[in-house]
């Protein structure tokens, strides 16, 4: 019967777990992502507007984006509560309220106002 040592693989696994992620070169920024609900994320820097979908102009905006192939539905089949417009002319539908998404965009601003 041969004995198999499990200590070395365990040490190697522990070493890998404690290894640091590679550092990014200076000047490369990691984009800030915000959650728009149900595991969907959007780059915060690309969002130029967060609007409520109830008005007729916003309904037309949604229809036009769909015709152009620029509509992204992130509602997971739920009711659309907000529409995000990006700098690339994409229109993103979300089931999260516009106020909630705005708070996720700049949480430090809300902390300063509330203090």
Q: Look-up: residue for tokens 């106002």?
A: 113
pLDDT tier, 115 (very low <50, low <70, confident <90, very high otherwise): very low
Does the model's pTM come out above 0.85? no
Whether the per-residue pLDDT at 97 is higher than 70: the answer is yes
Whether the per-residue pLDDT at 7 is higher than 70: the answer is no
Q: What is the pLDDT of residues 27-84, one digit of tens each?
A: 667 889 999 999 999 999 999 999 999 999 999 999 999 999 999 999 999 999 999 9
Spans of all domains in the chain: 47-115
Q: What is the pLDDT of residue 110?
A: 44
* Tokens (6 digits) for 35: 């959650």
């Amino acid at each position: 019967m041969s004995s198999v040592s499990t200590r070395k693989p365990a040490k190697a696994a522990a070493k890998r777990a404690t290894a640091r992620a590679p550092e990014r070169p200076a000047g490369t920024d990691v984009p800030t992502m915000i959650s728009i609900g149900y595991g969907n994320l959007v780059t915060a820097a690309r969002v130029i507007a967060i609007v409520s979908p109830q008005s007729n102009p916003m309904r037309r905006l949604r229809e036009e984006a769909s015709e152009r192939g620029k509509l992204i539905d992130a509602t997971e089949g739920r009711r659309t509560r907000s529409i995000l417009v990006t700098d690339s002319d994409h229109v993103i539908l979300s089931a999260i309220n516009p106020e909630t998404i705005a708070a996720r965009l700049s949480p430090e601003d809300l902390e300063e106002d509330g203090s």
